[in-house]
Amino acid sequence: MKKFGLLLVLLSLLTTACSRKFTEADVQKTESDIRNQFEQKGFVVEQVSMVIDSDRHMTGYATMRKSAGLLSKLDITKNCTATMDERDGKYFWQCK
């Protein structure tokens, strides 16, 4: 019976160690990646804000404007999400 209990504890620890979830560092990296991508497309990014709303999901927004032309005075806000794969911990984000 003791071996079975020990096995359950080890399995529990292994499962906990393998299940990855978003951290504050992931939030900062995602915000930076979003900012960089839109700046490379010619936008002036005014703000990017992402928050963790579950272990493997983030939501937020990016506010930007075009750097020149008629649209340079118009603020554009895009809703953003990030989702993490539960098996390997990799995640992707998108803004629409």
Q: What is the pLDDT along the chain (96 residues), one digit of tens a residue?
A: 554 443 333 344 344 445 799 999 999 999 999 999 999 999 999 999 999 999 999 999 999 998 877 767 789 999 999 999 988 889 999 999
65 close to 72: Cβ distance less than 8 angstroms: yes
Does some domain include residue 78?
Answer: yes
Does some domain include residue 3?
Answer: no
pTM of the model: 0.76
Contacts of 58 (CB under 8 A, 6+ apart): 22, 26, 27, 30, 50, 51, 52, 80, 81, 82, 83, 93
Give the domain extent around 78: 21-95
Does some domain include residue 27?
Answer: yes
Does some domain include residue 56?
Answer: yes
- Phi, psi (deg, nearest 5) at residue 90: -75, 150
Does some domain include residue 46?
Answer: yes
Does some domain include residue 9?
Answer: no
CA distances from 25 to 11, 28, 48, 53 (A): 27, 5, 15, 15
Does some domain include residue 39?
Answer: yes
The total number of structural domains that make up the chain: 1
Does some domain include residue 90?
Answer: yes
Handedness of CA 50, 51, 57, 60 (dihedral sign): negative
